[in-house]
Amino acid sequence: MIFPAKTDFLPGEIRVKNRIAKRMKEKRARAKSDDIVYEKLKTALRKRYIKQGSKLVEDTLAKQLGVSRTPVRSAIQRLEMEGLVTTVANRGAFVITPTMAEIKETFQVRAALECKAIELAVRKVNSKELAGLRQLIDREHTILAENRMEDYWPNNDAIHLKIAAMSGNKVLVSYVHELLDRSSLYLVLYDPFSRLEYCPLAEHEKIFTALQSGNTKEVRQAMEEHLKSSTAYAYLAEDIPEDYISLS
């Protein structure tokens, strides 16, 4: 044979192939590690294990998470891109300390985008999508009944993202996703659930009923009222809890 068969690699080719395979495996492992650390830090923010204004020290976080500084640095950069962390020159990265004005502005933009999303959704929503939304709201019933507040925010976000996805506008979904991350963290920082009797379940049910009816005006009004309630309860909780566990 002039050329070797595909399975008959020369020794040098085998070494190159093995090196490439090893590098690809290491790259996938690093990406997975980055994602895991990112999710852990984001969860820590949502559960208030890291207080607002805390400095995110790479060495400290790496030791607590049992990883190198590289995935921690990557996670902090991702959180900064999402607006949850800010970097101060010569000082480091810090968890944001939102003002009430920033919270109000965020919910104003959310209201505009989500109301538009639900207006688009009501025109094209189908029974399969409604069934998926129904499952998420039913899960919310269970979460609240069992007082599993650590599961509340991810499920709440899933409800809003599901509605946004029904619009069929991917750009709109992307912006809603980003704003959900911010506003959910704001509400956690201002701790409405532990200090106030606020339960958005009835509002989600009202939104679902309006979607079923196919009435554009009703569906927009239901979403507007829901987001106004969230903002109002954040305003009532201006006394920031001090009993945080800081990782800094």
Give the burial class of 227: count Cβ atoms within 10 A of its Cβ; 0-12 exposed, 13-18 middle, 19 or more buried. buried
Domain shared by 138 and 200, yes or no: yes
Non-local (6+) Cβ contacts of 16 within 8 A are none
Residue 109 lies in a domain: yes
Residue 84 pLDDT? 84
Domain shared by 174 and 202, yes or no: yes
Parent domain of 150: 100-236
Could you say which of 60, 95, 130 is where a domain stops?
A: 95
CATH code for position 78: 1.10.10.10
Residue 1 lies in a domain: no
User: What's the rounded Cα separation, in Å, for the pair 201 and 203?
Assistant: 5
CA-derived radius of gyration, the chain: 23
Domain shared by 35 and 87, yes or no: yes
Low-confidence ranges of the chain (pLDDT < 70): 1-31, 187-199, 231-248
CATH code for position 124: 1.20.120.530
Instruction: Decide if 84 contacts 95 (C-beta within 8 A).
Output: yes
Residue 242 lies in a domain: no
Residue 125 pLDDT? 94
Residue 61 lies in a domain: yes
Residue 162 pLDDT? 97
Residue 247 pLDDT? 40
Number of structural domains (the chain) is 2
Residue 248 pLDDT? 37
Instruction: Decide if 114 contacts 230 (C-beta within 8 A).
Output: no
Could you say which of 63, 95, 127 is where a domain stops?
A: 95
Residue 178 lies in a domain: yes
The helix or strand, by DSSP H or E, that contains position 85, with its residue range, turns out to be: strand 85-88
Domain shared by 104 and 49, yes or no: no
Cα-flanking dihedrals φ and ψ of residue 94, to 5°?
-135, 145
Q: Is the pTM of this model over 0.85?
A: no
b/e 136-162 (16+ beta carbons within 10 angstroms → b): bbeebeebbeeeeeeebbebbbbbbbb
Residue 5 lies in a domain: no
Residue 242 pLDDT? 44
User: What's the rounded Cα separation, in Å, for the pair 211 and 56?
Assistant: 42
Domain shared by 59 and 115, yes or no: no
The helix or strand, by DSSP H or E, that contains position 241, with its residue range, turns out to be: none
Residue 148 lies in a domain: yes
Give the model confidence (pLDDT) of 105-162 as tens digits.
Answer: 888 899 999 999 999 999 999 999 999 999 999 999 999 889 887 788 889 899 999 9
Residue ranges of alpha helices (H) inside the chain are: 11-46, 58-65, 69-81, 100-124, 127-145, 152-165, 170-189, 192-195, 201-213, 216-236
Residue 188 lies in a domain: yes
Domain shared by 75 and 125, yes or no: no
